[in-house]
């Protein structure tokens, strides 16, 4: 949706604004409460004893679910916006459907179809006037109805879920078989291929391998791949990076398929979310390859910006030691040395800051304020912007030319690729 759309709706006697245009939330709401537990109706043909037993089982299931939801959301170190994003992801992976306090799959599908048919404003008005409680309404999108949050937070979740639903591409009913797919590949002339980790895992390289070799049991790959952590202490990354160092002379049949599209003159652009650079090794031309999250193909000094082929740092990565910039080292070696005053700890070796060393040994000759930079593979770390080439290529060329998009080995959940 290209413009702001807000619907003023009345739920349970009060007016509420549901923001349908942005993932940005207002200030976190205080006083979060559990959703009310609705009473299950008595099914026809059941006696009082059976009904009481069913109620007890049902109540126990809900109590277990509420406890699990509370555990998921009881993390003061995670902001509400992130937890909402996680809940939306969970609603797609494990949707809350066909359970006592939500809609059935058929009912939820009918609601989503109605949403698409009449639009967000009309659908919200209809469901609001029908008196559907906001937590239950969220189950249309697979969201759990008993989260330990306030109704105001549920309204935010609803707006995000509606926006996500309306952004989804719908299946074209005329294409259903492998023959249909083959026909599309044969007749299309400008094909975009979007690929992810699924096309490389058969080769045995996967970022998730880092989970099993973490220095800290609580350390996650996402933490290793933050630019702040790398600049603070690159040793963590270099200790673990050997597990995902890509092979150079091997690629999967899927990479071969992408290369075949190129050889047939049909490949417009290959957008890859992988960092292994295997597409390049498989022969995809640089002008047809967009490495959305960067790759191991090159490395850059964090201090002076010196750019080298990625293979130059591979020996250090394999040895699990930090790779330092050769240009910085050469520049430091030509700086005129000078005598440095000794202190009381003249025999100690201390580290001033990342990439800079104060080696006060038996020699009095020291580099004058020289710092040796750390080489970083040109992978897009968390906290770094995606390459400009991604946006310019898609917006200025591919958006108008593409006649077919093939998605392989990715769930398309990571932005901005998910919004292509």
User: What's the average model confidence in pLDDT over 21-29?
Assistant: 39
User: What's the average model confidence in pLDDT over 212-225?
Assistant: 52
> Percent of the chain scored above 70 by pLDDT?
67
pLDDT classification of 54: cutoffs 50, 70, 90: low
d(CA 91, CA 80): 16
Instruction: State residue 72's pLDDT score.
Output: 53
pLDDT surpassing 90 at residue 358: no
Omega before 416 within 30 of 0, i.e. cis = yes
Between CA 90 and CA 276, with CA 243 as vertex, the angle to 5 degrees is 75
User: What's the average model confidence in pLDDT over 200-229?
Assistant: 60
Lowest-confidence range among 127-136, 167-176, 319-328? 167-176
DSSP string for 37-100: -PPPPPPTT--HHHHHHHHHHHHHHHHHHHHHHHHHH--TTS-HHHHHHHHHHHHHHS---SST
d(CA 151, CA 129): 17
pLDDT surpassing 50 at residue 40: no
If one counts every other C-beta atom within 10 angstroms of the C-beta of residue 31, the result is 7
- Verdict on whether the full-model pTM lies above 0.75: no
83, β-bridge pairs = none
Instruction: State residue 115's pLDDT score.
Output: 95
Lowest-confidence range among 115-124, 294-303, 410-419? 410-419
Distance, first Cα to last Cα, the chain? 13
Instruction: State residue 52's pLDDT score.
Output: 63
pLDDT classification of 25: cutoffs 50, 70, 90: very low
d(CA 247, CA 231): 26
For 293, half-sphere exposure in the C-beta direction (CA atoms, 13 angstrom radius) is 19
Instruction: State residue 212's pLDDT score.
Output: 42
Cα four-point dihedral sign 263, 264, 267, 271: negative
Instruction: State residue 218's pLDDT score.
Output: 47
Average pLDDT, the chain: 76
Instruction: State residue 276's pLDDT score.
Output: 86
pLDDT classification of 202: cutoffs 50, 70, 90: confident
Cα four-point dihedral sign 125, 130, 131, 132: negative
Residues identified as active-site: 293
pLDDT surpassing 90 at residue 382: no
Name residues whose C-beta falls within 8 Å of residue 392's C-beta, 6 or more positions apart in sequence: none
d(CA 96, CA 114): 19
pLDDT surpassing 90 at residue 18: no
User: What's the average model confidence in pLDDT over 128-144?
Assistant: 92
If one counts every other C-beta atom within 10 angstroms of the C-beta of residue 90, the result is 16
What are the pLDDT digits (tens) for 236-258? 899 888 877 776 578 899 999 99
pLDDT surpassing 90 at residue 123: yes
Radius of gyration of the chain (CA): 28
DSSP string for 87-152: HHHHHHHS---SSTTS--HHHHHHHHHHHHHH-HHHHHHHHHHTT--HHHHHGGGT--TT-SS-HH
pLDDT classification of 69: cutoffs 50, 70, 90: low
What are the pLDDT digits (tens) for 70-109? 555 554 445 788 888 889 888 988 899 888 788 999 999 9
pLDDT surpassing 60 at residue 209: no
Q: How far is CA 208 from CA 172, 194, 248, 370, in A?
A: 34, 20, 20, 37
The residue count for the chain: 420
* pLDDT higher at 31 or 53: 53
Instruction: State residue 396's pLDDT score.
Output: 92
CB 272 within 8 Å of CB 254: no
* pLDDT higher at 212 or 239: 239
pLDDT surpassing 60 at residue 68: no
Instruction: State residue 223's pLDDT score.
Output: 62
CB 375 within 8 Å of CB 300: yes
User: What's the average model confidence in pLDDT over 205-222?
Assistant: 48
User: What's the average model confidence in pLDDT over 296-320?
Assistant: 93
Q: Which of 10-19, 33-42, 318-327 holds the top average pLDDT?
A: 318-327
């Amino acid at each position: 949706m290209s413009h702001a759309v807000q619907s003023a709706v009345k739920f349970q006697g009060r007016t509420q604004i549901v923001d349908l245009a942005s993932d940005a939330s207002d200030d976190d709401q205080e006083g979060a409460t559990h959703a009310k537990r609705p009473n299950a109706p008595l099914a026809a043909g059941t006696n009082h004893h059976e009904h009481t037993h069913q109620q007890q089982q049902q109540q126990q299931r809900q109590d277990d679910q509420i406890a699990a939801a509370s555990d998921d959301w009881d993390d003061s170190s995670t902001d509400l916006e992130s937890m909402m994003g996680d809940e939306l992801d969970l609603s797609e992976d494990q949707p809350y459907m066909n359970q006592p306090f939500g809609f059935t799959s058929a009912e939820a599908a009918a609601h989503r179809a109605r949403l698409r048919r009449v639009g967000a404003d009309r659908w919200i008005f209809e469901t609001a006037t029908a008196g559907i409680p906001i937590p239950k309404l969220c189950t249309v999108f697979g969201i759990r109805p008993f989260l330990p949050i306030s109704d105001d937070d549920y309204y935010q979740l609803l707006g995000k879920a509606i926006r996500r639903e309306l952004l989804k591409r719908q299946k074209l009913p005329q294409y259903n078989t492998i023959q249909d797919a083959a026909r599309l590949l044969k007749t299309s002339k400008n094909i975009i291929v979007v690929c992810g980790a699924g096309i490389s895992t058969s080769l045995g390289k996967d970022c998730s391998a880092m989970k099993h070799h973490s220095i800290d049991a609580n350390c996650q790959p996402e933490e290793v791949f933050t630019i702040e952590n790398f600049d603070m202490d690159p040793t963590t990354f270099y200790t673990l990076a050997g597990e995902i160092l890509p092979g150079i002379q091997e690629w999967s049949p899927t990479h071969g398929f992408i290369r075949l599209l190129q050889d047939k003159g049909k490949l417009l652009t290959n957008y890859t979310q992988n960092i292994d650079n295997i597409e390049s090794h498989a022969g995809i031309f640089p002008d047809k390859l967009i490495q959305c999250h960067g790759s191991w193909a090159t490395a850059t000094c964090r201090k002076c910006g010196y750019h080298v082929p990625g293979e130059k740092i591979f020996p250090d990565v394999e040895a699990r030691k930090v790779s330092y910039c050769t240009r910085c080292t050469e520049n430091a070696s030509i700086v005129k040395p000078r005598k440095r005053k000794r202190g009381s700890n003249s025999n100690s070796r201390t580290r001033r800051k990342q990439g800079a060393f104060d080696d006060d040994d038996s020699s009095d000759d020291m580099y004058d304020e020289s710092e040796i930079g750390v080489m970083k593979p040109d992978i897009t770390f968390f906290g770094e912007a995606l390459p400009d080439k991604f946006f310019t290529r898609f917006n200025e060329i591919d958006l108008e030319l593409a006649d077919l998009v093939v998605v392989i080995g990715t769930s398309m959940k990571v932005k901005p690729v998910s919004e292509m």
